[in-house]
Each structure stands twice: as C-alpha cells, then as structure tokens.
C-alpha cells in the first residue's frame, strides 16, 4: 500500500463527510466539489504568495508553526523557503477550483548533515484544517525523503500544541524524553 493510499484510507475511516475523495496522482487530491488540491515544490517566484499565506494564518497557527510569535517571515526565511537545495525544500499546497490556485498549506523539510534524519514542519490554512491535508503532506514528505535515504522523521512541536502532537502520534512518531528548549517537544519516527 502506498503512502498516498494510506492517506486516503485514513480519510475513509473518518466519521462524516470528507473533502478527500480520490487521489488523482501522487501530488493531487480530488475535492468533492470538482476541484482538487495539489502539492508542489516552492519556487523563487513564490515569495509574495508564501508571505501572504503566512500573514493570513491565525496568530495561533502562526505561533504553533514557527514556535513563537511572528507576524511574517524575514527576507532570509523567504529566500530559504523559495530556493530548494539537495537536502531541503519547501512545499506549497494549493486548492484549484475555478480560476487561480489558492495556497492552503505549506511544509518545509531538511535533512541532517549525514542525510539520515529529516526534520519537518508544516501548516494548513485555518479554514482547511482537520480535513486530512496535514496527514497527506507528512505522507508526501516521508515518501520523498525516504527515497533520498532518510531513516527518521523528526518534528519539534510546542508543548501547548496538542493538535500537532495528536497528528504526529497518530502517524507513529514518539516523543523523545529530552529537548534543548523546554517549550518544545521533539518527536521522532523511524521510516520503514
């Protein structure tokens, strides 16, 4: 079973209606209204798009995503987000209905120096949360970095961020008993 199939299967196990009906390809999911949601790598032309997305997140989601109170990304962070390297990349999640795509999520991952551990962080726009897209993003990253040789996924999550902790635990991460920052918990999952 592929990671994407797993994502859809977990959707099918949800109670009530789900927007995720079928996977069009590894990087696209069909919505019940006929639209679809896609994942693509961020590129240099996305600076304004990503900055607007971050500004439009609720302050709570921004705080959880960036582990502190920020209102927008710095020029350096925007450059990093839009210029992938061999061991790091950012992803943009977009919904497509009629007309222009609408950014509804993002993720960033980077590999450790030995290439074996991949740290990741993600967010989904507030109105699109709790519909399976965060799970889909993590599945997507897991498949991608596994093919690059990564053996573990790692995520730093604030103690107060129960939704993200539930998400990663459901995905099979476990909390390490220590952390360099007392506000943050470090979660790890072995990639099999």
With CB under 6 A as the contact rule, the residue among 65, 141, 153, 173 that binds ligand COA is 65
DSSP calls for 17-86: --S--EEEETTEEE-TTS-EEEEEE--GGGHHHHHHHHHHS-HHHHHHHHTS--SS--HHHHHHHHS-BT
Q: Does 154 help bind ligand COA (rule: CB under 6 A)?
A: no
With CB under 6 A as the contact rule, the residue among 20, 23, 29, 61 that binds ligand COA is 61
Q: Give the binding range for ligand COA (CB under 6 A) out of 36-44, 74-82, 95-103, 125-133.
A: 125-133
Q: Give the binding range for ligand COA (CB under 6 A) out of 16-24, 26-34, 82-90, 131-139.
A: 131-139
| Residue whose CB is less far from ligand COA, 45 or 166 | 166
Q: CB of residue 187 vs ligand COA: minimum separation in angstroms?
A: 10
- Cβ(57)–Cβ(125) under 8 Å? yes
With CB under 6 A as the contact rule, the residue among 130, 159, 174, 183 that binds ligand COA is 130
Q: Does 141 help bind ligand COA (rule: CB under 6 A)?
A: no
Burial 24-56 (b: 16+ CB within 10 A, else e): eeebbbebeeeebbebeebeeebbebbbebbee
């Amino acid at each position: 079973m592929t990671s994407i199939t797993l994502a859809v299967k977990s959707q099918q196990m949800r109670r009530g209606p789900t927007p995720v009906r079928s996977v069009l390809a590894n990087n696209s999911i069909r919505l019940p209204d006929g639209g679809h949601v896609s994942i693509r790598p961020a590129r240099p032309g996305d600076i304004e798009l990503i900055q607007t997305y971050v500004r439009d997140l609720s302050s709570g989601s921004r705080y959880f995503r960036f582990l502190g109170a920020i209102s927008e990304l710095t020029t350096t962070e925007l450059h990093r987000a839009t210029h992938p390297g061999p061991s790091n990349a950012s992803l943009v999640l977009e919904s497509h209905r009629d007309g222009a795509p609408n950014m509804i999520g993002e993720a960033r991952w980077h590999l450790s120096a030995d290439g074996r551990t991949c740290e990741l962080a993600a967010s989904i726009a507030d109105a699109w949360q709790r519909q399976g897209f965060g799970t889909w993003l993590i599945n997507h990253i897991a498949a991608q970095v596994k093919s690059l040789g990564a053996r573990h996924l790692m995520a730093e999550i604030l103690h107060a961020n129960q939704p993200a902790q539930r998400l990663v635990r459901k995905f099979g991460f476990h909390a390490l008993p220590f952390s360099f920052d007392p506000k943050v918990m470090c979660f790890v999952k072995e990639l099999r």
